Structure 1
Amino acid sequence: MNTVVLAGGKTSEEMRAATGVENRAMVALGGRMMLDFVVQALTSAKSVDRLYVVGNVPANSAYTLVPERTSLVENLMAGVTAAQADSSGEYILISTSDIPFITSAGVDDFVAQASARRADLCYPIIPMDSYRKRFPQIKRTTLKVREGEFTGGNMMVLRAEFVAKQQETIERAYAARKDVLRLARLLGGNLLIRVLLAQTVAPSQLTIPMLEAGVSRLVGGANVAAIVTEHPEIGTDVDRPEDIDMARKILALV
């Protein structure tokens, strides 16, 4: 499966002060760029064919470098276009550049499960029991549902045709991600109420299929699948100053 790594954009002022670089992908961890760890895992994965990196980062023979655009969604579209031009494959794997602990086994497991579901969009979710065993020192945003407590990952498998046809829908969903009222309209008020109840008093009010249906509405009726993975590394991003020392300590023990 052709794979796109999103390595564009600028970090926060706090991250720039802590790391000395503007691009999160180029943060140094143990003498290597954070992007290098992600590229190594992806190129070692059996499920990954050609690799494309979108961003203002150094060129590398391991991947095709795609020039950065002006927004995350435009970077996504540029990466998908480049990956699709070199392949007739139906699906594309998308990864962020700030998950330095990712393993090739985790990548292959996610791709295998996503391929079996054959949805338009597959997103990984990690059981918090598994996450806490692997990374007890890291705090994560979680979601409680009838099936358990989960945190999200930093990869997606997308049907290329879906991305090509739904750019406006993707932009609208991305713009609404931090606006509760806009999200309520897109997801549906009933689902939003269930989400709030599940996080406070009644997790049984919300299920994974309900969330899949809600996200489907959010992205224009696409077939959406949540993929449960037991590989916590897929969701461990380094995007805050306090994450840097933690990441360096963990990598020093590997």
Structure 2
Amino acid sequence: MIAPLFLAHGSPMLAIEDNDYSAFLGDLGRTLKPKAIVIFTAHWETDTLTISSTNGVYDTIYDFGGFPDALYQIKYPAKGSVAWAEKVGEKLSASGIPVRYDGARGLDHGSWTLLSRLFPDAEYPVMQVSVNPYLDAAGQIRIGEALRGLAAEDVLIIGSGVTVHNLRIVDFHATDAAPWAIGFDDWIVDKVQTRDFASLARYEELAPNAQAAVPRAEHFVPLLIALGSADPASQAKVLFRGYQFGTLSYLSFSL
């Protein structure tokens, strides 16, 4: 069994910068040997949940601008799996969640930057799944719940996002984390570790500094999906916690 993960993908520079977080991801990846990977990425938004479905090698999507040329030279040649994509889709459909399949879209940076650090040899089949940030928090959790049981088949579910993600107020010169960002993450850690789904479903009104931390939900909902997919008897663990630019959180969980 492989526990679901929520991992911060932060800046695209993660793919080429060596730091404490990239080292953590490398160490984590060496402990995991999944049969397949299902990754919900904040950078693919659709009204209907959409699953990548191909047996071929994904293109690497550079969905960002203004970064060093070296970042645009990276290729992450992961393959997909139509069989696994259909299995994921069947579980979602059985819970009343509509799904579509996409055989053409490549891996966006919410997926490949993390995966290139976790599994640099790209040896495991990957199913990338979109998010709908307009679905309420309870609905996001239900998506995860529909996928319970995949962990017992050694399928790794990853929610790829960021808990505190407000690029309008990052401080590129900051060396310390902003207290308000820490306060939001403290609340999230408590609710995740106590599996307080009721409070997490109302994070927008209950969590301190929620509007500043989550001005838009696309980077937050992968946490709710991954949490919903976890075994109800499991104990969530904080795997990494750190901040960049004062407020960009790298909080990551095993769920």
Query: Fold match, TM over 0.5?
Result: no
Given the two structures, how large is their TM-score scaled by the length of structure 2? Answer: 0.32
Given the two structures, how large is their TM-score scaled by the length of structure 1? Answer: 0.32
Structure ranking higher in helix proportion: 1
Larger radius of gyration: 1
Using CA pairs below 8 Å that are at least 6 residues apart, which structure has the higher relative contact order?
Answer: 2
